[in-house]
Amino acid sequence: MVNKERLIDNFINMVKIASPSLNERKIADYVINELTALGLEVYEDEAGKKIGGNTGNIIGILRSPGKKKVMLSAHMDTVLPCENIKPVIEDGVIKSDGTTILGGDDKAGIANIIEAIKVLKEQKFDHPEIIVVCSVAEELGLLGAKNLDVDKYAPDYSFILDSGGKAGVAIVQTPFTARGEIVVIGKSAHAGISPEKGVNALTVAAHAITKLKLGRIDSETTANIGMVRGGEAINIVMPEVTLKYEARSFSGEKLETLLKETEDVFKAITKKFGAKYIDKVDKGYSGYNLKSDEDIVKVFEKACESTGVSCVTKSTGGGSDSNIYSEKGYKAMTIGVGMSKVHTTEEYIEIEDLYTTTKLVVELLKEIAENDSK
């Protein structure tokens, strides 16, 4: 059924196309050609204009008389370095030559989707209405998904092919997030002549940090200060310092509590030292938690059984386009495509994983169509 050589060739062709975030034009044109050749209705939305990129999300629709609508999605952008990628096939593994990333994150997902549709059309399998979404700027904070008018397509199920792990891995729980800056404002003074006239913003921030909850707070919650920037010169009492802060929790309530506690700390400490602070931390995407008895989980489990792979449901501390679609009210699940060591020059994917994931997508669509006909 799945044409392994064709799948590999298509994947290789795509990873050779550089597609850094906000500059996905070339890979988008490639995807448009592939989907159009398969007879899908193909559209490009206005997401690129909204986020300052040169490309919008690419949407392809394969109509069906069935009632169910299924979104299959993967993102087109990759992290750097992604220029002049030279794929190498060795011992059943596809990798780069070591000077760049490979780009399996997430062109493996796109390759899986395209090949699965080719199989459906060749074998004339019944299928639900398929909505293919190849999103932009996922690596910059899910920007393409945030600017997709998902209500226009209203999928019953959404499967985002964008996770590490073997075929059969399903991400059923992800965290609520918040991130941004906390700016502490002190008062400058000459550090050698009159330091007592100043208020060192870094000193104030340091006192506050000792009272914050950071790192692994509990089994559901983490927080981190990843960057600190400030200062004008070595002989000036630092007048301002900016802390880059993020927090995550599987519990929205716990996240709210943590953010309130963090703000209270800065409020109290800056008041004590005669400083000020500006809280620029905003809520990010919402988490989701799919229960084992939900239809989207049951359908995925059955497809895994038909494919002959183990279904592994798990949580993750990261996010994906699934978070955005879930937040907008649509059941979404991120599934594994076999990519490994992503975001590094050691990235690779096993050919067997690429192949098996495509088989799983085919079975997933067949399963949904079969349920739809009952």
pLDDT value of residue 62? 98
SS (H, E, C) the chain: CCCHHHHHHHHHHHHCCCCECCCCHHHHHHHHHHHHHCCCEEEECCHHHHHCCCCCCEEEEECCCCCCEEEEEEECCECCCCCCCCCEEECCEEECCCCCCCCHHHHHHHHHHHHHHHHHHHHCCCCCEEEEEEECCHHHCCHHHHCCCHHHCCCCEEEEEEEECCCCEEEEEECEEEEEEEEEECECCECCCCHHHCECHHHHHHHHHCCCCCEEEECCEEEEEEEEEECCCCCECCCEEEEEEEEEECCHHHHHHHHHHHHHHHHHHHHHHCCEEEEEEEECCCCEECCCCCHHHHHHHHHHHHHCCCCEEEECCCCCHHHHHHHCCCCEEEEEEEEECCCCCCCEEEHHHHHHHHHHHHHHHHHHHHHHHC
Q: Which of 219, 253, 283 is the last residue of a domain?
A: 283
pLDDT tens for each residue of 209-252? 999 999 999 999 999 999 999 999 999 999 999 999 999 999 99
CATH number assigned to the domain comprising residue 349: 3.40.630.10
Residues 136 and 30 in one domain: yes
Residues 17 and 153 in one domain: yes
Residues 82 and 146 in one domain: yes
Q: Are 161 and 151 in contact (CB under 8 A)?
A: no
Domain span holding position 9: 4-174+287-373
| φ and ψ of 58, to 5 deg | -100, 125
CA gap 183, 114 in Å, rounded: 47
Residues 272 and 183 in one domain: yes
Q: Which of 263, 283, 303 is the last residue of a domain?
A: 283
CA gap 121, 180 in Å, rounded: 46
Statement: residue 373 has pLDDT above 90: no
CB atoms within 10 A of CB 233: 9
CA distances from 313 to 171, 172, 222, 348 (A): 6, 6, 21, 23
Q: Characterise 180 by phi-psi region: left (phi > 0), alpha (psi -120 to 50), beta (else).
A: left
pLDDT tens for each residue of 169-219? 999 999 999 999 999 999 999 999 999 999 999 999 999 999 999 999 999
The domain total for the chain is 2
Residues 117 and 168 in one domain: yes
CA distances from 348 to 165, 179, 306, 352 (A): 12, 30, 27, 12
What is the pLDDT confidence band of residue 77, given thresholds at 50, 70 and 90? very high
Q: Which of 228, 258, 283 is the last residue of a domain?
A: 283
Q: Give the bridge partners for 93, in sequence order.
A: 90, 350
CATH number assigned to the domain comprising residue 261: 3.30.70.360
Which tokens is 307 given?
């494919």
State how far Cα 111 lies from the chain centre. Answer: 17
**Mind telling me the catalytic residues?**
77, 138
Statement: residue 374 has pLDDT above 80: no
Mean pLDDT of 17-30: 98
Residues 103 and 169 in one domain: yes
What is the pLDDT confidence band of residue 66, given thresholds at 50, 70 and 90? confident
Residues 170 and 180 in one domain: no
Residues 256 and 195 in one domain: yes
Residues 258 and 351 in one domain: no
Burial degree of 79 (CB within 10 A; 0-12, 13-18, 19+): middle
pLDDT tens for each residue of 78-91? 999 999 999 999 99
Residues 247 and 186 in one domain: yes
Residues 213 and 335 in one domain: no
pTM: 0.91
Residues 122 and 36 in one domain: yes
Query: Computed over its alpha carbons, how large is the radius of gyration of the chain?
Result: 24
pLDDT tens for each residue of 341-371? 999 999 999 999 999 999 999 999 999 999 8
